[in-house]
Amino acid sequence: MAANLTPQYQKAELQYRRAQSADEQVQCLTLMLQLIPRHKGTEKLQADLKSRLREARLQVQREIAQARSQSPFRFVRQGAGRIVLVGGPNCGKSLLLKVLTRAEPIVSPWPFSTREPLPGMMVWNDVAIQLIDTPPVVAGSIEPWFLNLVRSSDGVLLVADGSSDSGFDEAQTVYDEFFRRQTRFATSTGFDEQDLSLRNIQTLVVRTHATDPDFALRCDLSAELAVSALPHVAVELSSPDGKESTDSADELRRAVFEMLRVIRVYTRRPGASEHAPDPIALPSGGTVEQLALELHEDLFRNLRHARVWGAHVHDGQTVGRHFELSDGDIVELF
């Protein structure tokens, strides 16, 4: 039997995946149990949620008992998603942040110049995406706040220095360090079905210095590493002042946007001549009612129908609340 999960439940589930503390997980799981449809098709999922809720509550108690402080680094989530940059020492993460956003990180030829996480906003096709640079990872160096930041993100850019003979091995070290902490860099985000303690995080490997004479050879020699099986993009970002190949940077921006697996939907007030300049980002396959819920609870409850302009509809076509929207659609809600 199909689960037929509601948009409210799906939204709560997304908030749960993005939760940065055990307390936030408890709140989200409690809400998910309240919203989940009660029928035979959801019995296994209900049991799964109750198991996760028990574990989250135990984690809250452990944190209280150990008197753990809040993470010293907490960032307000902004844009259509959050992507965290990770990598070994001097791999080029800070230069990537500088090139892709307006942030001004310290870009230095010396390792360990990044000591604290730094956010920046990248814009691609009207969509803003939050990128966060992080300190370099070496064996045994991942602090709890860092792990939580990665596990609550929408994706990871794992940066490998293509100009160094040890660059891909260092990226593999980063992969292994997170895997030892029940966090696996993977092709999609979600909890592992066989082990609920294992968190998969969608990852794109960024191979820098693509024009280095030995770049292709280093890629070939690293083919047996686990990181080489992940999706990857090669870029040429080579100077501390941020000068780079425009095509290379744009290819990376596009790849980061595609990681989120979202569509851009523009809204327009009924009777208005222009749509809002900033789109709403919905999951691929998002519907009219998901758009309404994203905007406001009252819009969702009172929604009757919508009019849509786009490549896959007639201009101004009237559709129902379950109509599946496409990238670039303009929507009026009624």
Q: What does the block give as tokens for 57? A: 């509550």
Closest by CA position to 186, among listed 171, 204, 174: 204
Please tell me the pTM assigned to this model: 0.81
Q: Are 330 and 275 in contact (CB under 8 A)?
A: yes
Is residue 283 pLDDT above 60, yes or no? yes
Q: What is the DSSP letter of 313?
A: S
pLDDT at 113: 63
Distances (CA, A) of 70 to 73, 135, 309: 8, 19, 46
Kindly state the average pLDDT of the residues 322-332: 96
Kindly state the average pLDDT of the residues 227-238: 88
Share of residues in the chain with pLDDT > 90 (%): 55
Q: Are 22 and 60 in contact (CB under 8 A)?
A: yes
The pLDDT tens digits of the residues spanning 100-132 come to 998 887 676 666 666 789 999 999 999 999 999
Backbone angles phi, psi at 235, to 5 degrees: -135, 160
Give the residue, 73 or 185, on which the prediction is more confident: 185
Closest by CA position to 65, among listed 27, 114, 113, 22: 22
| Residues 6 or more apart in contact with residue 237 via CB below 8 angstroms | 92, 95, 96, 99, 208, 209, 244, 245, 248, 249
Question: What topology is assigned to 262-333 in CATH?
Answer: Ubiquitin-like (UB roll) (3.10.20)
CA–CA separation, 201 and 198 (whole Å) = 10
The pLDDT tens digits of the residues spanning 5-24 come to 888 888 888 888 888 777 88
Q: What does the block give as tokens for 11? A: 């939204």
Identify the burial level of 57 via C-beta atoms within 10 angstroms of its C-beta, where 0-12 means exposed, 13-18 middle and 19 or more buried.
middle
- Please tell me if the domain spanning 82-259 has the same topology as the one spanning 262-333: no
Is residue 179 pLDDT above 60, yes or no? yes
The pLDDT tens digits of the residues spanning 60-92 come to 777 665 544 455 677 888 999 999 999 998 888
Distances (CA, A) of 166 to 85, 88, 115: 19, 10, 22
CA–CA separation, 63 and 161 (whole Å) = 37
Q: Which CATH superfamily is domain 82-259 in?
A: P-loop containing nucleotide triphosphate hydrolases (3.40.50.300)
pLDDT at 102: 87
Q: What does the block give as tokens for 333? A: 């809600």
Give residue 1's pLDDT band: very low, low, confident or very high (50, 70, 90): very low
Is residue 329 pLDDT above 50, yes or no? yes
Hey, what amino acid is at 254? R
What does DSSP say about strands 199-208 and 183-186: parallel, antiparallel, or unpaired? parallel
Is residue 277 pLDDT above 80, yes or no? yes
Residue that the structure tokens 């809250």 belong to = 60
Domains of the chain, by residue range, sit at 7-65, 82-259, 262-333
Give the residue, 240 or 146, on which the prediction is more confident: 146
